[in-house]
Amino acid sequence: MRPHDSSAGSTARVVLVCGPAGSGKSTYARRLEAQGYARLSFDEEAWLRGHTEHPLPPAAAAAVHATLHERLAGLVRAGRDAVVDTSFWSRASRDDYRALLAPLGVVPVVHYLATPRDEVLRRLAGRTGGGPHDVVVEPERALAYLEGFEVPTADEGPLVVVHPG
């Protein structure tokens, strides 16, 4: 089953999985991957580059996003559906990917994981640093991430709100 139709010229569909650390983005993205989407993960790319703590230095984060942009554009040109797994914590970060995709004829759909704050904090408290989706986030940083997160709205473009359960 296809969760939406994001194409505006291309046959590829793109989902931007959006939510703060601990909201369940990677689990959700893997579900879409099982449905045939190519999955691009910020955390996995950062981990492969030796970045095992967050936040990444700005230059390192920019390099990871540049790699994801290149891979995403290639997938879309090949007609492949893709899901991008990163926090997309700001509207500007989401707009950046929209700007990449617009000339390729794709309007991405943001899937926002509206995970309750207490659940996010519980999940983050249980992290051990064992892999790219288990990066330790100190309590103060977790609160800062939650307070600084810009929740997407429908005026940005196609939006699906997911209530993980």
CATH number of the domain residue 151 falls in: 3.40.50.300
Order of strands across the sheet that contains 38-41: 38-41, 82-85, 14-18, 109-113, 159-162
Which pLDDT value is given to residue 6?
42
pTM attached to this predicted model: 0.90
In Å, what is the CA distance from 12 to each residue of 28, 76, 111? 19, 5, 16
Q: What are phi and psi of 81, to 5 degrees?
A: -70, 145
- Give the whole-angstrom CA distance, residue 161 versus residue 154: 10
In a domain, 119, yes or no: yes
* Residues spanned by the domain of 63: 14-162
In a domain, 5, yes or no: no
Q: What are phi and psi of 40, to 5 degrees?
A: -115, 125
Q: Are 18 and 113 in contact (CB under 8 A)?
A: yes
Residue 79 pLDDT level (bands cut at 50, 70, 90): very high
In a domain, 54, yes or no: yes
Which pLDDT value is given to residue 29?
97
In a domain, 7, yes or no: no
In a domain, 110, yes or no: yes
In a domain, 8, yes or no: no
39 three-state secondary structure: strand
In a domain, 9, yes or no: no
pLDDT at 145 over 70: yes
- Give the whole-angstrom CA distance, residue 39 versus residue 163: 21
Which pLDDT value is given to residue 7?
38
Tally of structural domains, the chain: 1
Tell me the per-residue pLDDT of 84-117, one tens digit each, with 9 for 90 and over. Answer: 999 999 999 999 999 999 999 999 999 999 999 9
**In this predicted model, which residue has the larger pLDDT, 6 or 17?**
17
In a domain, 1, yes or no: no
DSSP letter at 106 equals: B
CA atoms in the 13 A half-sphere facing the CB of 152: 28
CA nearest to 104, candidates 73, 128, 82: 73
Which pLDDT value is given to residue 165?
65
